[in-house]
Amino acid sequence: MRACVVGAGPAGIVTAKVLLENGFDVTVFDKYQRVGGIWSPGGCYDGLANQSALRLFEFADLPNRLHFAGAVDTQRYLEDYAETFGVLDRLRPGTEVISIRPVDGLGRVGASGWSVDSRPAGDQAARVRRETFDYVVVASGAHHHVQVPDLPGRELFSGTVLHSNEVRAETFTGRRVVVVGGGKSALDLITRAAHEATSATIVQRKVNWMIPERLVLGLVGYKWILFTRLGEALLPRYHDPACVRPIDRINERVKRGLWWLITRDMLISTGLYRLPRQLRPTHTLPFHLAHAGVMPRGYVRAVRRGLIAAEVGAVEAYTDKGLRLATGEEVPADVIVFATGHHKVFPFLDPKVRVHDSTGRMRLYRGIVPPGADRLGFVGFRQVFNNIMGVELTAHWLACHFRVALRTTPSEQEMQEAVDARLAWQEQVLPGSGGYDFGPYDIHCADELMHDMGLPSRRAGNLPAEYLLPGGVAHRYKGLTRANSATRRRGTSRNS
């Protein structure tokens, strides 16, 4: 069983590791020279920092002590993981996949395998190598194809225009910097610019919620609240009834009261309460938690000290001096950085494989497999807060799917209906998630995949630990390959 994995970021290396354990002959392609994806040298903006507290950014089989670590330490951990479990031996670094097409044959798309074309990254004149694989996993990451608004007047502005991915050391030094965006990367970069640039201005269409490193007036680490079953029980009910427990049926009035308290604590613990009202979120929790990152250290202090000028409004056009806002105000700049997100696209994939709907939302069953395509899966596009845990569980689910070892195998029509129901739920509960982001539903998402694999979703030894201790963590799911093998053996013995 030959399997191709596209991408050697966190999703790619854990998928390769799980497939190897399940007997697949794995080849991993990655355009960078080192594993890590966005954590690789040149993979994202200089100064990218990990927003995971202790024991969150780790796979089940390799603990670490990373705590809000920088990119260098994060990449080193990923490389250690890939080396420890034999993934480096299967890696083709500096190799770009340019085409993935189903092998000609009768029946469903991909039923006969996949033809994969690759070449040395960045060399369009290089010879293309064509290979055939039985299975393909796309783990190319969601943060590589940049999204920059097409504003009028670009020819007027003679300064530098970048996407956040392109920011490097010395980009800001001694220059007037404007960052457009309101997410974690925008706040990261403007906080850095506050100390390096001659002026720093952030322009946000709306102010997003940010999660403090510590909640409850700064006394309790966020994972002890947001990563527990009790914490998730306060969210709107999950779309899959099989994952709804009695605690998830808390009275809605009680939920609203608790969210009122959480909202006030978020404002105080992040420091946003100390900023002018227009620089605080106007929408209510929890519905926009999917867009929240961890508040960068120093952002609020820099705004209060006047090192960061913050504007709330839409960007309308370039001018010869910088940007013009919809209010008519002009913001001068030497460097304009758009921290405006990324397209979740796969230019190498045959267009007959339907991955998106007409509005651009991803249409994947369980956020993993496209209905109507065989032997093809996506890992890293079922986003949750702790995406390291998310991609590891996704890899185990996909290995079972490839081996036809899930509890049930829905038809294409059943998959399509499940995708429709989930997208409708996401639009209501997680607006703007694009069919990709499951936000704070770490444990519910884990329960769903465990249920599909026929494995127990209760991962702690007692009820208090199950509901009160952080459950959205990878180390609770150690040994899933052995557990899945045991489940398959029991199923085989029952059928024999």
One domain for residues 35 and 79: yes
Amino acid 241: pLDDT: 94
One domain for residues 30 and 102: yes
Mean pLDDT (the chain) is: 93
Model confidence at 461, in pLDDT bands (50, 70, 90)?
confident
Amino acid 489: pLDDT: 66
One domain for residues 274 and 328: yes
pLDDT at 7 over 80: yes
One domain for residues 240 and 228: yes
Amino acid 78: pLDDT: 97
Question: pLDDT tens-digit profile of 317-338?
Answer: 999 999 999 999 999 999 999 9
Question: pLDDT tens-digit profile of 220-230?
Answer: 999 999 999 99
Residues contacting residue 217 through CB under 8 Å, at least 6 positions apart: 265, 268, 269
Amino acid 142: pLDDT: 86
User: How many folded domains does the chain comprise?
Assistant: 2
One domain for residues 235 and 277: yes
One domain for residues 105 and 204: no
CATH number of the domain at 247, please. Answer: 3.50.50.60
Amino acid 89: pLDDT: 96
pLDDT at 496 over 50: no
One domain for residues 323 and 434: no
pTM across the whole model: 0.94
Nearest to 391 by CA among 82, 60, 26: 60
One domain for residues 292 and 351: no
Residues contacting residue 496 through CB under 8 Å, at least 6 positions apart: none
One domain for residues 18 and 125: yes
Amino acid 255: pLDDT: 94
Amino acid 488: pLDDT: 66
Percent of the chain with pLDDT over 70: 98
Question: pLDDT tens-digit profile of 366-387?
Answer: 999 999 999 999 999 999 999 9
Bridge partners of 336?
Answer: 161, 178
pLDDT at 495 over 80: no
For 368, the domain range is 2-145+343-495
Measure the CA–CA gap between 96 and 6, rounded to whole angstroms: 9
Contact present, 230 and 466 (Cβ < 8 Å): no
Query: Stretch 169-177: mean pLDDT, rounded?
Result: 96
One domain for residues 107 and 218: no
Query: Stretch 256-279: mean pLDDT, rounded?
Result: 94
